[in-house]
Amino acid sequence: MSIDTLFVDPSRCIGCRACEAACRECDSHKGESMIMVDFIDREFSMATQPTVCMHCESPLAPCAQVCPVMAISITPEGVVQQADASRCIACSNCVYACPFGVPKMDLTARLMKKCNLCYDRTSQDLQPWCAQACPTDALWYGTYEQFANERQGKPVRQTQFGTQEVRTRVYHVLPEEDSKLRVYIDADGVMRSGEGAQGEEPWVL
């Protein structure tokens, strides 16, 4: 069964932050963006990259699993929600657990905040604001089949951090065919992508 989901294609990202501006428009968190756009290394390149919640499927939502008060719920469709304000104790476990660095702790509100795939819109068959606004389709919303039919990038939803693999609901788009996105930290402590990860066996869950 194919589901509607987000596809993130950094090669198309122009760093305009329309997604951030649009995310701030949401009634549920007006003025706050749950998506982040970063220059990867401005002193070297103009390249930019948006970061959204990837909505991990396997292991299922590490952020929710480490939450001591079960504040982070997962919808039947597999969308991982922001922490429930009445439960969150601002312990930041989720912040440390997330492999993608997505949840942010709002210290003033004492509440974890993150992207919930615009659940109010997507559950009504509308697009999430970020993909709706994105002028270059670097963020794109639809099914895998539609994407494969219309576009040239190679979407993957398997990310390997060192030796730990994570399967997510949201896809990353790679320029070339590969089964997964691989990142690891080499012996010199430099983050690299591609083959070559060494080290201990996966330990998460």
Partner 1 sequence: MFRIATPTTTSSRRESQSGWTKSDELPDTLVPTHCSFCGVQCGMYLRVSDGQVTGVEPRDYPHNRGALCPKGVVAYQQVNHPDRLRYPMIRRGGKGSNLERATWDEALDYVVQRWQALQQQYGKDSIAVYSGSSMTNEKCYLMGKFARVGLGTRHVDYNGRLCMSSAGVAYAKAFGMDRAPFPMTDIPETNCILVAGSNVAECFPVMMQWLWRARDNGAKLIVMDPRETPTARTADVWLPLRPGTDVAILNAMLRYVINEGLTDEEYIAARTRDWDKVKDIVAPYTPEVAERIAGVPAKRIVRAAELYGHSPRSIIMHARGIEHSTHGVDNCLACINLALARGQVGKVGGGAMMITGQGNGQGGREVGQKANQLPGYRHIDVLEERQEIAEVWGIPESEIPGEGAAATEMVKLMASGEIKSCLVICSNLMVSLPDNAVVARALDNLDPLVVIDFFLSETAERADVVFPGSVWCEDEGTTTNLEGRVIKINRAVDPPGEARRDWQIVCELARRLGRGKYFEFQSSRDIFDELRRASKGGVADYSGISWEKIDRQSGVFWPCRSEEDTGEPRLFLERFAHKDGRARFHPIAYTPPAEEPSEAFPLRLTTGRVVYHYLSGNQTRRLGFLNSQAPEPWVEIHPNTARQFGVAHDERVRVRTPRGSMELKAVVAPTIRPDTIFIPFHYGHEGAANQLTNPAVDPTVKIPEYKVCAATLERVSSSMSPLPQQATENFTAANAPRMFPYTVGETKSPPQR
Rule CB under 8 A: which residues touch partner 1? 11-18, 20-22, 24-25, 29-33, 42-48, 104-108, 113, 124, 127, 129, 132-137, 150-152
Distance from C-alpha of 182 to C-alpha of 197, rounded to nearest angstrom: 8
Nearer to partner 1, 45 or 86 (CB): 45
- CA 40 remoteness from chain centre: 16
Nearer to partner 1, 17 or 172 (CB): 17
Q: How far is the CB of 18 from partner 1 (least distance, A)?
A: 4
Residue 60 is given by DSSP the state: B
Nearer to partner 1, 27 or 201 (CB): 27
Nearer to partner 1, 113 or 172 (CB): 113
Decide the pairing of beta strands 181-185 and 154-161.
parallel
Q: List the beta bridge partners of residue 189.
A: none
Nearer to partner 1, 46 or 85 (CB): 46
Q: How far is the CB of 199 from partner 1 (least distance, A)?
A: 32
Q: How far is the CB of 35 from partner 1 (least distance, A)?
A: 12
What phi and psi values does residue 23 have, to the nearest 5 degrees?
Answer: -60, -35
Q: Is the dihedral of CA 109, 63, 49, 24 positive or negative?
A: negative
Q: How far is the CB of 22 from partner 1 (least distance, A)?
A: 5
The number of beta carbons lying within 10 Å of the beta carbon of residue 141 is 23
Tokens 């869950």: give the residue: 205
Nearest to 73 by CA among 116, 133, 31, 41: 116
Q: Are 94 and 66 in contact (CB under 8 A)?
A: yes
Q: How far is the CB of 150 from partner 1 (least distance, A)?
A: 6
